[in-house]
Structure 1
Amino acid sequence: MNFDAVTQFFRKTDRGKSSKRRGLAVVTGDWMQQPSEKSYKILMLLPVSSKSHKNIFMPLAEALADRGHKVVMLVNHPKSSKHPNVLEINHDLPHFKEENQNMFISRTSKGQADFFTKSLPAIARDIYKVPEVKKLYDRRKDFDLIILNHMFNEAIYPFVHEMPFITIATIGLDARQSAMLGNPLNPAYKVVGTVLTSNRPSAWQRFQNALAGVMRGFAWRHWTIVPLIQKEITAQFPDLPPLLELERNLSLTLVNTHFAIDTTVPLLPSQVEIGASHCRPANPLPQDIEEWISGAGPEGVIYFSLGSFTRGSSMPVQYRDAFLEAFRRLPHRVIWKFDEELEGVPDNVLIRKWLPQQDILGHEKVKVFISHSGLLSVQETVYHAMPILAIPIYGDQPKNAMFIKMSGFGDMLTWEDITVDKLINEITKITSNPKYRENIKKASLTLRDQITTPMERAVFWTEYVIRHQGAPQLRCPAANLSWVEFLMLDVVGILVVVLWVVLYVMRRVVAATVRKIFSNGDHMKKKSE
């Protein structure tokens, strides 16, 4: 990309009109229907992201563009927006592309660690060598605000040096970021992994959860990933402050969550919930899919998808065969998102490489969603009140699956537990028991019952940070404290010392008093004799 195109993009005058295409993400407030009084230049950086992460950024980019702002996006996927006020720059590095990954191999903790320790430092090493990225970095101060993809993008922190910036927490409320903002999450009830299996966890579960939170945060930021990225960045920008110091200047984070679809926790003003901002009412389906679903009998339809990042073709053959055999024995019709042709597909199974997921989930004849339990899929499931069978693969998916089970929205299986009989039993249980749809319908009503839309909040707070030059008033004083100060360990230490001195003095006084009493007693005894 010739960077003159960016200059021309800035010079264009297109105030935009509000889009009517985004369902829940449609901006409904009157103020949102009008162009902003001033057009801002906003840089969105998501150079390390999955397609689902981009699906969170794009509605906000277009909503800001509708307001007349100029939005430049650094991405790792092909151009997808047709909005005249949105310019996408694809760095085209190969290190994090979906087609190069096998997430079934990366399912273990070691597999995930190996994946990140290889790919993220490589991106830090190479991304500033891409001419378009380096030119964009050199011109970063032309922008009024930078918006980062929170997860996996420490390599891009040099962009925010001496710049106001916010993040979008695409994976939801992250304990590491929340602690950095001054709001450590309580491990007594906020799930880190899959340790907490009920709303009243045991002392041992709470201990494991707390330990997991501390170890994961410390390992990522101070031991494994960030130090490797820091080494690559320092080699290119030796005068920059450390990456974690740059991170602390964060003004605000837009959190992809909502209390209807996650554990309810206290939030700071700088933590704004925008969960399900990408969700929308179901649209009419393509004719062939509509006919397939409508032609199903009273048993209805099962929808099966592992999301946008995990390729179905990477599924181990024993699991693929188990699904095919289970579907063959079930009375339902099945729609399966799979990226290649399959042999031996039963007559009741329809396979497509791409499917309009929300339109399918919103269809009344669909009975259950078999999902990897990625966060966006879970949000769409709740929004459309669709019971779910979660089979998590990696990342935050096991935690999401456990939340589904604890909330009664469906059930979960691990891949190691998959057999034909277990698949049939789980699907039959969920489709035949009305409690799962009742539970998730209640959550859906809560998710939809909001005074403002998630997108209205996202746009308002984005513009708020720009209007107030980084909005330092949002910053919690706790963010400036060390852990010793925050936990008041120094105060506890002083109290312990004072208590020890008081006890020591009291002991000496009591000992002296006792000696004096007994000494007087002995003196009186000798005198009487």
Structure 2
Amino acid sequence: MKLKVTIVAAILWACMLQGEGFKILIAAPVTTIYVKDSLCAIARALINNGHQVSMITPLVPNFAHKNLKVIKIVPKLKFLQNVNLFTLNSSILEEHTTKVLAATAEAMWEGLPMRREMGTFASFDAVVIPKFLNELIYPFLDDFDGVFLTFTTLGAEHYAVSHMHGLEVGYWFVKSLLDGPYVGSHSLTEKFILSILELSDHNFNHSKVHPSASDAIKKYDSRSIDFEEYEEKSRLRLLDGHWLLDGPLAHTPATVEVASLTARDGQPLPDSLEKFWRSNSSQGIIYVSFGSYLKSSFIPTHLKHTLLQAFSSLPHRVVWQYDGVDLDLPANIFRQKILPQQDLLGDNRTLLFISYCSASAMREAAYHGVPVLALPIALDQHKNAKKLEALGVAKILDWRTVTADQIVGAATELTTDKMFAEKMREISRVLRDEKERPGDVAAGWVEHAILHREAPRLQLPYGPEQLWVLGDRDLRMLWAATAGGLGFLLGVILTMIYVSVCRCIRRLRHKEKSE
């Protein structure tokens, strides 16, 4: 009898807790698969804590739950859809971004699922919005009285720092730009170059992204949108970063690192892969993937044949995520359009991961302790590859000039030199030894921001003049010296012009008098 009473009491208590849960909106109308999966990890943790979560997304979440409501939007063009990374440049990215924002705005304002939810935003206790390319959601927050939080991926965290309380001071901090050329400790010259690159990156956001978002919104909402005013309202920033992989980053108490959200333990491999493994003797598995967005038709022909020649020469079982059927594969290569990446990385027979080194690839390889042979192509991939190389767990090859012998040589070194695997396993142990899963950490801070009404004690209590003091002193001095030098040079040039003009005037007057 006592046992029954205890069980009933526990059930009633659980129901009470569930009833007292918060309502949280995760709004990501523009997203990538990696960001979507990261947000799903946060959503799952929030739901496990008894809260209700709604997600605005163009992509299907990787789990379902009765307390997860999906508000699906269907834009005609998604971010990075049909983008050839091999030919990507700034102008193509700018044009693609403009089209994506326009298509997403149309899907949001004209799509039935979103129209049904337009009046419900005020009912949420908190809203989490990815920082980059999701400005379209801001007009819906006008009547929102809850807590506004941002999720920021590495390479965009300078936006989050720069916009805290409206302080445009990100240039004084040396941070990890999306495609910055340096990792680790920086010389003064490298700091100066990074600050210039950050100015350029900041300009892209303000001169390209914001105008494109504004144009897309104006078609449906005539109000003038001040994006910076909305961005200043963010009270907590969840940063996809980890000190072990990314090094120390300059941020404030209101920024919480929650990296490797998508990493999970591996599951047994499918029967098709097990059959492939047993079909022949092998020294181990090499897993090859260039991500979900890169179609086989985008890969240059010379690179395809170089990869095929190299893989054919390796004494390993090569498992290649490849959606084409245009290659005649030897017996040691298994091809499939979609492969269970984390199950393969989590299998102790996998010795090497050949990848273009996206953020998800970098973090999942580190979590599972598998060394990486990186062939970075675009965006943040070069930066990610350099981070792993600096940690001594990866080698980098240039896809433009790589040869089959170079691939075979690098793969052989990475699989036979135990130093690479030992260093990567040590990183894996540290990541796995975290006391809380990253999703649980993120969920805890979301709850903190709600319970403490916008977490006022995490906010900076001072203005830009004090915040600058926290920046890099040498970099500030170099900028001051550069500005002074340019000012002096400009003064000299103007003085020379003034003297030359005066001389010309005197000569003309003298000539007139002589005549």
Q: With structure 1 as the length reference, what TM-score do the two structures score? A: 0.79
Equivalent residue for 2:46, pick from 59, 64, 77: 64
The letter for the 2-side match of 1:430 is: L
Aligned equivalents of 2:252 and 2:190: distance in 1? 27
In the alignment, is the contact (CA less than 8 A) between 1:410 and 1:430 conserved in 2?
A: yes
Q: Assess, with a 3 A threshold, how the Cα gap between structure 1 residues 485 and 189 changes in structure 2: closer, same or farther.
A: closer
Number of the residue aligned with 1:367:
351
Q: How far did 1:240 drift? A: 5.4
Instruction: Rate the CA distance shift 1:65–1:286 in 2: closer, same or farther, 3 A.
Output: same
List aligned pairs for 1:311-460, cutoff 5 A. Answer: 311-460=295-444
- Number of the residue aligned with 2:197: 212
Q: Which moved more, 1:433-442 or 1:108-117?
A: 108-117
Match of residue 95, structure 1, among 77, 80, 93: 77
Which is worse superposed, 235-244 or 157-166?
235-244
**Distance (Å, rounded) in 1 between the aligned partners of 2:223 and 2:468:** 33
Partner of 1:157: 138
Partner Cα separation in structure 2 for residue 403 and residue 419 of structure 1: 23
What SS is found at the alignment partner of 1:417?
A: coil
What is the alpha-carbon root mean square deviation over aligned residues?
A: 3.0
- Structure 1 residues 419 and 354 mapped into 2: Cα distance closer, same or farther (>3 Å)? same
Q: Residue 275 in 1 paired to residue 259 in 2?
A: yes
Match of 1:93, SS state, is coil
Deviates more, 1:112-121 or 1:275-284: 112-121
2:129 aligned with 1:145: no
C-alpha contact 1:56 1:170 (8 A) present in aligned 2: no
Residues 154 and 176 of structure 2 are in contact (CA less than 8 Å); yes or no, is this contact kept in structure 1? no
The reply on whether 1:111 has 2:92 as its aligned counterpart is: yes
Deviation at 1:100, TM superposition (A): 3.2
Matches within 5 A, 1:17-96: 35-36=17-18, 38-78=20-60, 80-96=62-78
| CA distance in structure 2 between the aligned counterparts of 1:58 and 1:386, rounded to whole angstroms | 24
> Contact (CA 8 Å) 2:155, 2:176: kept in 1 or not?
no
Distance 1:191 1:138, change over 3 A: closer
Provide the aligned length of Structure 1 versus Structure 2. Answer: 457
C-alpha separation in 1, matches of 2:287 and 2:98: 35
**Contact 1:151–1:171 (CA<8 Å) still a contact in 2?**
no
**Can you list the C-alpha shifts for 1:88-131, whole angstroms capped at 9, x where unaligned?**
1221112216553333332x233323322332244335532223
Q: Where does structure 1 differ by over 6 angstroms across 4 or more consecutive aligned residues?
A: 31-34
C-alpha distance in 2, partners of 1:376/1:485?
A: 36
Indicate conservation of the 8 Å contact 1:146/1:166, yes or no.
Answer: yes
2:264 and 2:306 map into 1 onto residues whose CA distance is 33
- Specify the SS of the correspondent of 1:250: coil
Q: Does the 8 Å CA contact 2:24/2:54 hold for their aligned counterparts?
A: yes
What is the identity, as a one-letter code, of the residue corresponding to 2:179?
A: G
1:354-374: CA deviation from partner (whole Å, max 9, x where unpaired): 111111111122111011211
* CA distances 1:423-443 after superposition (whole Å, capped 9, x unpaired): 222212212222211221222
Partner of 1:193: 179
CA distance in 2, matches of 1:322, 1:341: 16
For residues 178-212 of structure 1, the C-alpha deviation after alignment (integer angstroms, 9 at most, x for no partner) is: 22236847655745534226x44443322221211
* Matched position secondary structure for 2:63: coil
Which amino acid in the other structure matches residue 457 of structure 2? Answer: Q
Q: Which amino acid aligns with 1:166?
A: L
Structure 2 Cα separation of the partners of residues 472 and 122 of structure 1? 37
> Which of the numbers 257, 263, 285 marks the counterpart of 2:241?
257
Structure 1 CA distance for aligned equivalents of residues 235 and 426 of structure 2: 34
State the distance in 2 between where 1:99 and 1:236 align.
24
Q: Which has the larger radius of gyration?
A: 1
- Secondary structure of the structure 1 residue equivalent to 2:309: helix
Assess if the C-alpha contact under 8 Å between 2:286 and 2:316 holds in 1: yes
- Residues 116/440 of structure 1: CA separation in 2 closer, same or farther (3 Å cut): same
Aligned partners of 1:256 and 1:276 also within 8 Å? yes
Q: For 1:219-298, list aligned pairs within 5 A.
A: 219-220=204-205, 222-239=206-223, 241-293=225-277, 297=281
**CA distances 1:27-58 after superposition (whole Å, capped 9, x unpaired):** xxxx9999556122211111111222111111
Q: How much does 1:238 deviate? A: 3.5
Question: 91-100 or 278-287, which moves further after superposition?
Answer: 91-100
Does residue 128 of structure 1 match 2:114? no
Residues in 1 aligned to 2:449 and 2:61: alpha-carbon distance in whole angstroms: 27
Name structure 1 gaps, 5 residues minimum.
Answer: 1-15, 18-30, 497-529
2:151 alignment counterpart: 168
Percent of aligned positions with the same letter in both sequences? 27
Deviation per residue, 1:277-302 (Å, 9 max, x gap): 22122211112212333556452111
